[in-house]
Amino acid sequence: MLSSVLLDVAQSGSNIGIGYGLAAMGAGLAALGAGMGIGQIGRGGLESMARQPEIAADLRTNMILAIAFIEGTSFFGMVIGLLVLLIR
């Protein structure tokens, strides 16, 4: 995404504005934050399952639900960033 913004700047001069670069960085940060959050959930879930194996099924269900919420918010952030980039 950032490379497309840089190509637009190279073609049209510097009239593109800083908002497009910030939108690209925001979309990237949304994806990075989601990856880090899912990693933390996985790590915590595996540590909990190692300590108490009898709650593994309930914990797995809660982990999947939390991961789905994180993915939803990150997709929302990436879509907003792409809309700012692509719709002029």
pLDDT in tens, 56-85: 999 999 999 999 999 998 888 888 877 877
- List the domains of the chain with CATH numbers: 2-86 (1.20.20.10)
Q: First-to-last CA distance in the chain? A: 15
What pTM does this model have?
0.70
- Tell me the CA distances in angstroms from 10 to 6, 13, 16, 35, 64, one per residue in order: 6, 6, 10, 31, 43
pLDDT of residue 31: 87
Q: Residue 13 gets which letter from DSSP?
A: T
Q: What percent of the chain has pLDDT over 70?
A: 80
List the single range of 13-22, 27-36, 40-49 with lowest mean pLDDT.
13-22
Backbone angles phi, psi at 14, to 5 degrees: -95, 25
